[in-house]
Amino acid sequence: MPRKALIAANWKMFKMPTEAKAFVEAFLPLVAGHDRDEIALFPSPVLLPGVIEALKGSNVAVGAQNIHFAEEGAYTGETSALQLKAVGGTHTLIGHSERRQYFGETDEIVNKKLHTALKHGIVPVVCVGEVLEEREAGKTADVLKTQLAGAFAGITTEAAAPVVIAYEPVWAIGTGKTATPEMAAEAHAMIRAEVGTLLGAEIAANMRILYGGSVKPENATALIGQEEIDGALVGGASLKADSFAAIVKY
């Protein structure tokens, strides 16, 4: 069975509620009936209920950009998997490089969040990727291996089935610099091989690995068209309905 691509919009800390509503109104007609790929939006927490309501019954799923690993508790400013689920969110990003860079998320925290998402039936999109110095030092494979081993610690092959991985080279995020399709495909193959080592060949063959980092309508076809690339996690170019729809229809 070929892997169904997932095209995901990471809105980061952008959009007012009115802008989110306007996006949905413009976007839905552009992707009506599109079932070749899965589509998901990842808005800020306060936008989630409104966006979920506006997308009800459509072919577009909604997820959070982050969850806490605890089910509830004294964690000021955080959102739990159960709260996400209660408002109808079905997916979550975990370990985005901005979370790692600005909020101190370690592989251990990523691992705890992954356990929690899987326990509650939330589809996790686990983000991995090297920074520029690591790539230049020839350490990309080691970094990806460490991040993956950390993320999947204690997770069984059976439990890991819903996991989606997003390969996002940090130097390509928001910089306009994209990995070439060949570079991305090479990293994806490394990731798939490592997932195979950690969890087995069968799950590795079925796991979706998205590419993220300056994906735009102009480069989407070349990237997602690679056999190894099973979709995209899109930041900047996902903020406008026409541009994100063009990526969905790569």
Place of tokens 């993320």: 151
Task: List interacting residues with ligand PGA (CB under 6 A).
Answer: 10, 168, 173-174, 212-215, 233-237
Shortest spacing between CB 101 and ligand PGA, in angstroms: 11
Q: Are 10 and 234 in contact (CB under 8 A)?
A: yes
Considering the complex, state which of residue 116 and residue 238 has its C-beta at the smaller distance from ligand PGA: 238
Taking CB atoms, the residue at the shortest distance from ligand PGA is 235
Shortest spacing between CB 65 and ligand PGA, in angstroms: 9
Q: How many helices (H) and strands (E) does the chain have?
A: 11, 8
Q: Are 69 and 113 in contact (CB under 8 A)?
A: yes
Shortest spacing between CB 160 and ligand PGA, in angstroms: 22
| Residue at 56: amino acid letter | K
Q: Which of 38, 98, 105, 168 is catalytic?
A: 168
What distance in Å separates the CA atoms of residue 225 and residue 202, rounded to the nearest whole number? 22
> Is 228 annotated as catalytic?
no
> Is 168 annotated as catalytic?
yes
What distance in Å separates the CA atoms of residue 21 and residue 247, rounded to the nearest whole number? 20
Shortest spacing between CB 172 and ligand PGA, in angstroms: 6
**Sheet strands (E) in the chain:** 6-10, 38-42, 60-64, 91-94, 123-128, 164-167, 208-212, 231-234
Q: Are 108 and 150 in contact (CB under 8 A)?
A: yes
Q: Which of 68, 96, 115, 188 is catalytic?
A: 96
Q: Which residues are catalytic?
A: 96, 168
